[in-house]
Amino acid sequence: MSPLKDLPRAAATRLLMIEDSPSDAMLLEAALQDSVLESAIIVSESSLAAGLKRLAEGTFHGVLIDLGLPDSEGLETFSRVLEAAGEAAVVVITGRDDSRLAEEAVRLGAQDYLRKSESRPGELGRAVDYAIRRQRVLRDLERARDEQLQARDRFLSHVSHELRSPLSVVYQFGSLLQDGVGGSLSADQRDFLEVLMRNVGQLKLMIDDLLAVSRVQRGRVVVESNPVAIRDLLAETVAAYRPAADRRGIQIATDAGDLPTVLGDEGRLREVLTNLVDNALKFTPGGGQITLEGVLAGDCVRVTVRDSGRGIPTDDLDRVFEQFFQVEQGDEVSRTGLGLGLFVCRDLIQRQGGRMWAESVPDHGAAICFTVPIMTTGTTPEAAV
C-alpha cells in the first residue's frame, strides 16, 4: 500500500480549475464532487489571466489547468501557472490526444495529467488527491533538505571561524622562529619549520575556502560593478606569481593584446585569478608553462588561465566546479585542498554577468576560461549580492 494513503487530507481542500469550456468545467466539477474530494471548494475560471489573478489573491492546494485557453496555448500556459501556483499541485487536463505535450508538462513540474475523454468515475478525484499529497511530500522533503544544508553551512562557518584564531597564533610564532627571534636554527630545524609553515599555509587556505563557500551560500557575497582594466590585472597577477613560478622552474606569462575596459569587481576578479593560478602552479610540473590569455569575444573579454600539466579527464570537465569535487590524480597533489576553489570562482564570475568553464586534453594541460562583459556607453555600475 502506498504511504501516501496514510497522509491526512486537508480539512478544506481548495481547488482552482482553469477551463474555458463551460460544459467540460461542469462535468469535471461533478466528477470531483463525486469522489474522495466531495467536500473540496472548487473555484473555476475560463482564462489564464483570470486564473493567475485568483492564484495571486488566495491559496490553493491544487490547480487543474487546460493547456488550450483563449489567451494562452501549450506549455507557455503551464509554465505561467506553475510559476504562480506556489506550493499547489498542478494537474494538466486536456481534451486533446497529445500525450507528448502533457508528459513534457509533467517533466517540467506537473504532478499528473489526465485526458477528459478517458476519465472514469472517481479517477479524476483520486488523481488530484494523490497529486496534492505527493506535492506535500515533495515540499516537506525540500524543506527538510534546506534545513539540513543550512545547519551544515552554520556548522562549517562556526568551525572555520573557531579554527582561524589558534591557526593564526601558530603561524605568528612560526614566523618569529623563521625570523630568528627565538635564536638561531640548525639546518635541520629550519627544514622542519619550513614543512610546518607550508602546511599551516595550506590549512589556512582550506579554512578560507570554507568561509568563502559559507558566504556564497548564505548570500553574503557583495560584488561591485565598476570599470576594470583587465589587461593590467592580468599583468599584475603574473608579476605577483613570477617569483613562486621561478622557484619551481615554471614559465609564467601573459598573452593579451589591447583589451577594452570590462565591467566587474576588480577585487573579486583578482581573487578568481589568484585561485586559478594557484591551481595551475599546483598541477604544472617543473619546466612547464602557465599562460594568462585575454581576447575580445563579442561583447565580453574571455580570460583563459592555461597550464601544461596533466589536464582534466573529459568526464570531469563540468564536475570540477562542484563543491568538494577533486580530480583523481593518483598522488597527493590533488589532495592539498578541499575542492571548493572553482565552485567559489564560478559563482563570483556569474555574479558579474560572465560564465566559467573548463577545457582540457588529458596529458596536454588544462585551461579554465571565464568571460567578463565589456564596459559600454551608458553602463551603470551597481552592486550584486
Quote the CA–CA distance of 359 and 366 in Å, as a whole number. 6
Ramachandran area for residue 378 (φ above 0: left; ψ -120 to 50: alpha; else beta): left
Would you state the cell numbers that stand for residue 288, as one nine-digit string? 612547464
Calculate mean pLDDT across residues 298-311: 92
**Residues 32, 63: Cα–Cα separation, whole Å:** 13
Residues paired with 319 in a beta bridge: none
- Give the type of residue at 172: Q
> What count of residues does the chain have?
385
Note the pLDDT of residue 234. Answer: 95
pLDDT of residue 4 exceeding 90 = no
Looking at domain 223-384, its CATH class is alpha beta
- Alpha helix segments (H runs only) across 179-265: 187-217, 230-247
Q: What gap in Å lies between CA 18 and CA 49, rounded to an integer?
A: 10
Average pLDDT over residues 3-15: 62
Top-confidence residue, 213 or 31: 31
Q: Which three cell numbers stand for residue 215?
A: 558566504
The region that residue 168 occupies, defined by phi over 0 for left and psi between -120 and 50 for alpha, beta otherwise, is: alpha
- Taking the domain 3-142, which CATH number applies? 3.40.50.2300
Q: Say how far apart CA 180 and CA 168 lie, in whole Å.
A: 19
Mean pLDDT of the chain: 82
Angstrom distance (rounded) from CA 234 to CA 218: 30
Cβ atoms within 10 Å of 93's Cβ, excluding its own: 23
Angle (nearest 5°) at CA 190 between 187 and 195? 130
Predicted pLDDT of residue 12: 79
pLDDT classification of 283: cutoffs 50, 70, 90: confident
> Does 380 or 183 have the greater pLDDT score?
183
Grid cell digits, residue 43: 473555484
Domain residue extents for the chain:
3-142, 149-217, 223-384
Give phi and psi for 356, each to the nearest 5.
-135, 140
pLDDT of residue 334: 46
Taking only the tens place, the pLDDT of each residue in 310-328 is 888 888 888 888 876 676 6
The DSSP element (H or E) to which 21 belongs, if any, is: none
**Does 149-217 carry CATH code 1.10.579.10?**
no
Q: Give pLDDT tens digits for 191-250.
A: 888 888 877 876 776 777 666 666 666 666 678 889 999 999 999 999 999 998 999 999
C-alpha 177/C-alpha 184 separation (Å) is 8
Residues 213 and 235: beta-carbon distance below 8 Å: no
